[in-house]
Structure 1
Amino acid sequence: MEVRKILVCALAALLAGVPIAAQAEQLEFDHRLYPPLKQVLDSGNSDMVAFDAKNPSRMVDLIAVRGKSAKTWTEALEIVAILPVPKVETAQAWMDIQRSAALARCPATFKVIAQDDISITYERQSPSCRAERAETGIYRLITGKRSWFQLTVLSKTPLDAAARDQWLALLASAHFK
Structure 2
Amino acid sequence: MSRALAALFVIAAANPAKAEKLVFDHRLYPPLKAVLDGGDPAMIAYNASNPRYVVDLIAVKGKSASDWTEALEIIARTPAKQVRTAREWADELRSKDERACRATTLPIAEDSASLTFERQSPGCKAARAPVAITRVVAGKRSLFLLTVLFKNEPDASAREQWLALLRSARIE
TM-score normalised by the chain length of structure 2: 0.94
Partner of 1:119: 114
Q: How far apart in 2 are the matches of 1:48 and 1:88? A: 30
Q: How far apart in 2 are the matches of 1:44 and 1:19? A: 27
Q: How far apart in 1 are the matches of 2:4 and 2:84? A: 32
- TM-superposed CA distance for 1:161, in Å, is 0.7
Alignment partner of 1:170 out of 152, 155, 165: 165
Q: How far apart in 2 are the matches of 1:51 and 1:11? A: 13
Q: Give 5+ residue unaligned stretches, structure 2.
A: none
Alignment partner of 2:58 out of 58, 63, 71: 63
Partner of 1:53: 48
Alignment partner of 1:136 out of 131, 142, 145: 131
Deviations 1:11-30 (A, max 9, x none): 53x53xx5522112111100
Alignment partner of 2:32 out of 28, 37, 40: 37
Q: Secondary structure at the match of 1:95?
A: helix
Equivalent pairs: percent with the same residue?
Answer: 53
Q: How far apart in 1 are the matches of 2:105 and 2:134? A: 11
Q: Give 5+ residue unaligned stretches, structure 1.
A: none
RMSD: 1.5
- TM-superposed CA distance for 1:10, in Å, is 6.1
Number of residue-to-residue matches in the alignment: 172
- Tell whether the 8 Å contact from 1:84 to 1:143 is kept in structure 2 after alignment: no
With 28-37 and 79-88 compared, the bigger mean Cα shift is at 79-88
TM-score normalised by the chain length of structure 1: 0.91
- Tell whether the 8 Å contact from 1:118 to 1:142 is kept in structure 2 after alignment: yes
Alignment partner of 1:28 out of 23, 31, 34: 23
